[in-house]
Structure 1
């Protein structure tokens, strides 16, 4: 796989996906480093165990790290609400932790140091157990809250000096080892827990952003449906009543039946006119309102947005089509990019008005995907051409995108 392919693949990821990959990669790498740390522990006590026994300990530490990685991966999916907690793998991790800890004692022994600072087999064994327990609990951090991790670190940290004192360790060595274990565990587990928590927050914000965009569309549809209901509901009820009356009069041979049907026709024509007015009002948008709405929606989605230029008096058709450009551009920024900045510029020059939206965070197109404009932009281009204008959508250097609409400022639609 070439560097350019990797670069396109990375650019094609959204900001939450990039953060997810970075976080998972960092945590998996930390867990995968367990055999390396075990190797350092073994080298610190050179001569405390035979080479073959030391190799067995490092190999089992590597296997323990693999189980921990599996638990951590499934645990993160559980934390994000994408799967169940891996109970069987958790049991396997606990069993592996006990077995590797017991192996450390069997391989290195439990000989106490004669004086503080001296390294014996018992010191190496205790360091090995501290490392193994630390990695095991780190893999369980998606399940363990911060308060539980703190209590666990303090509880296990108290066991370390007690075990040393009961084995005739020098008090200073026992207490120092226990304190170092507590500080090391707290630092490592806090890093694991904070990373998992931040990953959950990032995905929650991404879901909120998508929901906000969907709610804006749903709210507009609801308003349109309410307006249609208010108009058609009353008129259709009147049409139904008058139709029944006309039918009854017709069965009796009354001449008033024709008059009632003419009234039904008039009501139907009036309803058609009112529906057209509603649709026209739905399609006609105010450019100032659309620009303010675009800035508000984008800022609430975490996109730093600036609107440059002022809306001078423009014909209704020009304001409508540019308002739709602003609305469609805002939707594209929310749905098809991971933008952090967006600049909307409105300029008037040489008898034309130009609306430009430029944003960053554009995702690379997937293989086989069309790079042409979507149906929304195609429809806007047709509207602009009807007014003598044009629409361009261009990808700039890097991850930037520019949408520009140009229309004569003096156009008045028929």
Structure 2
């Protein structure tokens, strides 16, 4: 049992909802043979046991085909597969087979008085198999179509009963039972699949938002590099052409132009280093604000607790790296909905903690190159890093470093 619980806890919220929804729908479909057995036992004519078992066996085959149609239909509805036309054709054949078997086993005799006869059992067998057939096709049918089908099938049951000299109460009672049963069952199927599609769409949107946040940061960095290098590279190109022209004419000024090109190149290198340094070594306040903005844009409710004023630059830089790496891990390795970032000071140390939910299977404190690099950076300042999997689906990343920033 603990293994099952651990396996379930390792699933993301999306995976849990998917498993729960599919499991519910699948269990309803594969329960058809049990429903068929219950209906068969309600008759008064007493068909033979082999005949009843034949009816139940054919119903089981129909349930298996309906399961395959529903399974592939859900994938089609989610945009991850094609519609199972062959299985659909097989489902229609299996439906006719169940209905034919029901007539052969129970007949279509009219009840002598309002009640349950073998003819009524056959009618309920029809209602049952048609209900499961349409239920397996709900991913393809819209709400109005399901309503029309419920009305048509229920009306057909009433008309067939009246033409077979059934008592009016039996005919209309069976028809009303079919109509309301269809409305409830098909609505549950359709609503479940619709909600599953909405949840998957929200998850895709969340992933797109996270990717856009990363792309925006890359574009900002690229724009900074372009602004700095664009002018200098243009000047280098012009001066290089000038130096080449002077060299072809044997002019001494060509050497001076090439020295100017060298100076511009060195200045460009210095400016690039400044850009990279500014990109990598931001103050902690800016980094926390950026983490909160990125996470919120990805649909993660984020809170930042604590003050960071007065910390040395090297401490802010290393904790800024922790915040950046932690944010990346939340986006890449979890389906988080909440994240709390806390900055606390005690005993001459400052601690930055990031705690989030939605940990996926395989995620946890195993770490990687990113966390290893953080641990090394913190170690240079006498600090430490801890990454722990908490109860349930929560994960905590904690960095602790002396607030003085003295290198040990």
* Whole-Å separation in 1 of the counterparts to 2:44 and 2:296: 60
Distance 1:204 1:292 in 2: 28
Structure 1 residues 397 and 100: CA distance shift in structure 2, 3 A: closer
Query: Equivalent of 1:144, from 137, 141, 145?
Result: 141
Give the SS at the match of 1:291: helix
Structure 1 range deviating more: 315-324 or 350-359: 315-324
TM-score scaled to structure 1, two decimals?
0.92
Cα distance change on mapping 1:157 and 1:301 into 2, 3 Å = farther
- Secondary structure of 2:398's match? strand
Q: Distance in 1 between matches of 2:373 and 2:196?
A: 38
Tell whether the 8 Å contact from 1:8 to 1:364 is kept in structure 2 after alignment.
no
Please list the CA deviations of residues 172-194 of structure 1 after superposition, one character each: whole Å capped at 9, or x if unmatched: 32222211111101111111111
Partner residue in 1 for 2:276:
279
Q: CA deviation at 1:136?
A: 0.6
Cα distance in 2 between the residues matched to 1:305 and 1:26: 33
1:284-334 per-residue CA deviation (whole Å, 9 max, x = no partner) reads 224233323333443454444332222323233322322221121122122
Residue 334 of structure 2: aligned partner: 337
* Alignment deviations for residues 178-214 of structure 1 (CA, whole Å, 9 cap, x no partner): 1111110111111111111222222222222222222
Q: Which moved more, 1:209-218 or 1:270-279?
A: 209-218
Provide the C-alpha distance between the structure 2 equivalents of 1:255 and 1:301, rounded to a whole number of angstroms: 60
- 2:246 and 2:149 map into 1 onto residues whose CA distance is 88
Aligned residue number for residue 312 of structure 1? 309
Identify the residue that residue 188 of structure 2 maps to in structure 1: 191
Query: Is the 8 Å Cα contact of residues 316 and 412 (structure 1) preserved in structure 2?
Result: no
Judging changes above 3 Å, is the alpha-carbon distance between structure 1 residues 264 and 314 closer, same or farther for their aligned structure 2 residues? same
Distance in 1, matches of 2:297 and 2:127, equals 46
Runs of 4+ more than 6 Å apart: none
Aligned to 2:210: 213
Correspondence for 1:267 among 264, 268, 277: 264
Judging changes above 3 Å, is the alpha-carbon distance between structure 1 residues 300 and 271 closer, same or farther for their aligned structure 2 residues? closer
Structure-2 residue corresponding to 1:72: 70
Matches within 5 A, 1:377-388: 377-388=371-382
Q: Residues 199-248 of structure 1: CA distance to partner in whole angstroms, max 9, x if unpaired?
A: 22222222222222222222111111122122222211211111121122
* 2:109 counterpart of 1:134: no
Normalising to structure 2: TM-score of the pair?
A: 0.93
Unaligned runs of 5+ in 2: none
Which residue of structure 1 aligns with residue 400 of structure 2? Answer: 406
- Output the CA distance in 1 between the equivalents of 2:54 and 2:83: 30
Structure-2 change in CA distance of 1:303 and 1:249 (3 Å): closer
Tell me the distance in 1 between the aligned counterparts of 2:147 and 2:289: 48
Secondary structure in 2 aligned to 1:49? Answer: coil
Over 3 Å counting, the alpha-carbon distance change for 1:40 and 1:7 in structure 2 is same
Give the secondary-structure state (helix, strand or coil) at the position aligned to 1:44.
coil
**Does structure 1 conserve the Cα–Cα contact (< 8 Å) formed by 2:242 and 2:257?**
yes
Does 1:17 pair with 2:15?
Answer: yes
Q: Which residue of 2 aligns with 1:241?
A: 238
How many Å separate the matches in 2 of 1:91 and 1:140? Answer: 12
Q: Is 2:44–2:116's contact at 8 Å kept on the other side of the alignment? A: no
Secondary structure of 1:160 counterpart: helix
